[in-house]
Chains A and B, each alone.
Chain A
Amino acid sequence: MESKQIEQLLEKYWNAETSLEEEQQLRDFFRSESIPEGMKETAELFRYFDHQKKVQLTEPSFDGNVVRKISANRPAAKSVKMYFNYARIAAGLVVVVAATYFVGQEVRKSYPAEVTDTYSDPKLAFEETKKAFMMLSKGFGKARQESQKIKLFNEAEQKIQGKQATKEEEITI
């Protein structure tokens, strides 16, 4: 390639106007041996670029390590997660069951056992029941007598009010 053409390309290159193809042309040119005196540094730069592209990740075990990590990573994480999910549900169930058991026990303690028969003889039981009812009716009777007094008061009050009302009517007339 003509060195004039190269100079033009280089000028474009420094102005960041070259295409990838043109940059490849420059790279090819500077790979050759016959480089004009004034372009030695530029040639060095392009050789540096070439050289840098050859830098590699030189570790034989790298690929193996990565593959091992990614294949070990995924399933383990999944099973651990699933295990935790199940554990959560199981813990919830345990709490609910334990709570029902203890609450049930407390309830049973606070209620006395079922009522049992206190009398074996039905006659005696009848007598006792009758006595109890009698006591009740006596209480009721007394209460009625007392309420009779209240009734008396009520009647008296109504009478007084009635008189007053007639009086007031007379006054207004």
Chain B
Amino acid sequence: MNLEAFENRVLPTKNKLFRFAFRMLGSSEEAKDVVQEVLIKVWNGREQMAEVQNMEAWCMRITKNLSLDKLRSQQRRPTDSIDERFDVRNEALSPHENTELNESMLSINRLIAALPEKQRQVIHLRDIEGYSYNEICEMLELDMSQVKVSLFRARNAVREKLVKMNAYGI
């Protein structure tokens, strides 16, 4: 793969990678760092890339792994409790993005952020990015039944909370 192919085929996936990293990390700065790292990693491993059939899934998988690494190194820091991370999650949206998200969207954002990691990954890849189950399996290194169960649980948790939101007007 030469630089031109990289610019035409890999670089355009940056927004998808960014959204996924952002979903996992909750900070646009960190997500940006991860995406940059992913792109450099893909470039350095471009010799193996010839065998990769689905470039996008491959990139997404690297994004997932690097984001997980980042999350783990954050969790090792004793000062960052999980609650603090969720606070950051909400403030992490830039002012520009914040104005676009209305109150109810913000609460949806919050309830998706509160889902377990796997469920959050699956619902993001399916309902926001619109990937097929097969692609999601490849990206998350899970088998089909795990993906389906995670999606089922994620959607049900969202549904339940939406009903509550409706009932109490939160």
User: Once the chains bind, are B36 and A66 in contact (CB under 8 Å)?
Assistant: yes
**Extra inter-chain contacts (16) besides given A41-B166, A45-B158, CB under 8 Å:** A20-B132, A44-B105, A44-B108, A48-B105, A51-B100, A51-B101, A55-B19, A56-B18, A62-B36, A63-B7, A63-B14, A66-B36, A70-B6, A70-B39, A73-B40, A73-B43
Q: Footprint of B on A, CB under 8 Å?
A: 13-16, 20, 23-24, 40-42, 44-45, 47-49, 51-53, 55-59, 62-63, 65-67, 69-71, 73-74
Answer whether A16 and B14 are a contact pair too, CB < 8 Å, given A41-B163, A48-B105. no
Please name all residues of chain A whose beta carbon is closer than 8 Å to the beta carbon of B59 when the two chains form the complex.
none
Question: Nearest Cβ distance between residue A73 and chain B, in whole angstroms?
Answer: 7
Question: Interface residues of B: mostly helix, strand, loop or mixed?
Answer: helix
Please name all residues of chain A whose beta carbon is closer than 8 Å to the beta carbon of B151 when the two chains form the complex.
16
Q: In the assembly, what is the distance between CA of A15 and CA of B102, in Å?
A: 28
Q: In the assembly, what is the distance between CA of A56 and CA of B14, in Å?
A: 8
Q: In the assembly, what is the distance between CA of A71 and CA of B6, in Å?
A: 11
Q: Footprint of A on B, CB under 8 Å?
A: 3, 6-7, 11, 14-15, 18-19, 22, 32, 35-36, 39-40, 43-44, 96-97, 100-101, 104-105, 108-109, 126-130, 132, 148, 151-152, 155-156, 158-159, 162-163, 165-166
User: Once the chains bind, are B148 and A57 in contact (CB under 8 Å)?
Assistant: no
Question: Nearest Cβ distance between residue B135 and chain A, in whole angstroms?
Answer: 10
Question: Nearest Cβ distance between residue B96 and chain A, in whole angstroms?
Answer: 8
Q: In the assembly, what is the distance between CA of A83 and CA of B71, in Å?
A: 38
B6, B35, B43, B100 — most chain A CB neighbours (10 Å): B43
Q: In the assembly, what is the distance between CA of A67 and CA of B4, in Å?
A: 10
User: Once the chains bind, are B165 and A59 in contact (CB under 8 Å)?
Assistant: no
